[in-house]
Structure 1
Amino acid sequence: MKNKEIDQLLCDENNHLKKLHKIVKETILAEELIVQNLVNPPLDVLTPGQKLSDKVARFGGSWQFISWFGILLTIWIIFNVLAVGHYKFDPYPFILMNLILSCIAALQAPIIMMSQNRQEEKDRMRSENDYLINLKAEMQIRSLNKKIDVLIEGQVKTLFETQEKQFALLREINEKLENRLINS
């Protein structure tokens, strides 16, 4: 009878450990899913116009663009200052050059803004994803805390039952010893 009780206590303890292992495995699988989604985000489908605006913004905001544009303007000015006669196609004050620069700025600014708006939308979506991931992690932590509390309560209950049975066994042993001492 006593061996069955001890076996039952050990079985209960093993069941608690199995529950705990199951909770940990489920949590690890959920975290792997989140990490997989973060490492391999869905690809953006871009229209040709969006691709072009990204390329223009990338090139228009680079030192390479500034360098080439500075060289081109310098050549333009030097040529029109040094050229003779009908070769001077844009004499000082370089009205044609100012017109071209204004047109480039007028076209380049909205294209760059389109690219920046798309980037802002991506950043907003990333921020929302971060918030949702943090919220999910917080919910998982709370869930794990509750599960661990339940497991600990079960273990404490099992420990009290085990201790009660041990005291009962000790009382029986003590009674048997006292009976032997009295009988001898």
Structure 2
Amino acid sequence: MTEDEKIADYARRMTGAGGGRPPEDVLSVVRRIARVTHVASDVHREEREARSFGERLADRIAAIGGSWSFLITFGAVILVWVVLNVWILARVGAAFDPYPFILLNLFLSLLAAVQAPIIMMSQNRQAARDRFAASHDYEVNLKAEIEIMSLHEKLDRIREGELAAILARLEALERRGPS
């Protein structure tokens, strides 16, 4: 029996796959068990190290744009803009963006046009990170489950050996008769 056949047989026994071939993710975990390699790793650190400058920048912009401090600051800037153009500069005839605030609308539209795709890119990367982390968690949990099942088998074999030894002693005592 080749090593791959042994691994497939072990995977079938551990997962109850019957006569069919176990799924590839199960075989991958069983191969790691056979090689005594670790499945667990810091997926967040690995992902952080693999991000490009643009991805890090987009994530930072999305983090800032989705914060309360940004919303409060943004509201304050708009309020100052309106007060400045309607009451202060309008009195001296120097308002640079009088009502209906066309320049302000242009800035807000530009901000929305740039910020929305950046936030969506960041969310897509976050979804990909979540999928990768879930896949990794599945592998770690599967390995733990297979290891626990293997330990149960070992304990069962040990108990069977102990029970056989106890039964042999009892039979020997019965053959000797009462003392």
Q: TM-score, normalised by structure 1?
A: 0.67
The aligned residue for residue 130 of structure 2 is 123
Larger RCO, structures 1/2 (Cα 8 Å, 6+ apart):
1
Q: Which of 64, 70, 73 does residue 59 from structure 1 map onto?
A: 64
For residue 78 of structure 1, the aligned residue among 74, 77, 83 is 83
1:157 alignment partner in structure 2? 164
| Structure number, greater radius of gyration | 1
- Distance in 1 (alpha carbons) for counterparts of 2:45 and 2:112: 35
Local SS of the residue matching 2:41: helix
Q: Which residue of 1 aligns with 2:46?
A: 42
Q: Name which of structure 1's ranges 71-80 and 158-167 shifts more when overlaid on structure 2.
A: 158-167
Q: Output the aligned Cα RMSD.
A: 2.5
Q: How does 1:103-182 map to 2 (within 5 A)?
A: 103-168=110-175, 170-171=176-177
Distance 1:40 1:114 in 2: 18
Structure 1 counterpart of 2:108, from 101, 108, 114: 101
Q: Distance in 2 between matches of 1:86 and 1:146?
A: 89
For residues 87 and 153 of structure 1, what CA distance do their matches in structure 2 show? 96
Counterpart Cα distance in 2 of 1:93 and 1:40:
47
Higher helix share: 1
Which secondary structure state, in structure 2, belongs to the residue aligned with residue 91 of structure 1? coil
**Pairwise CA distance, 1:40:** 8.6
* Amino acid paired to 1:145: H
Report the identity percentage: 41
Structure 2 gaps, min length 5: 1-35
Gaps of 5+ in 1: 1-29, 175-184
Q: Which runs of 4+ in 1 moved over 4 A?
A: 38-41
TM-score of the pair, normalised by structure 2: 0.69
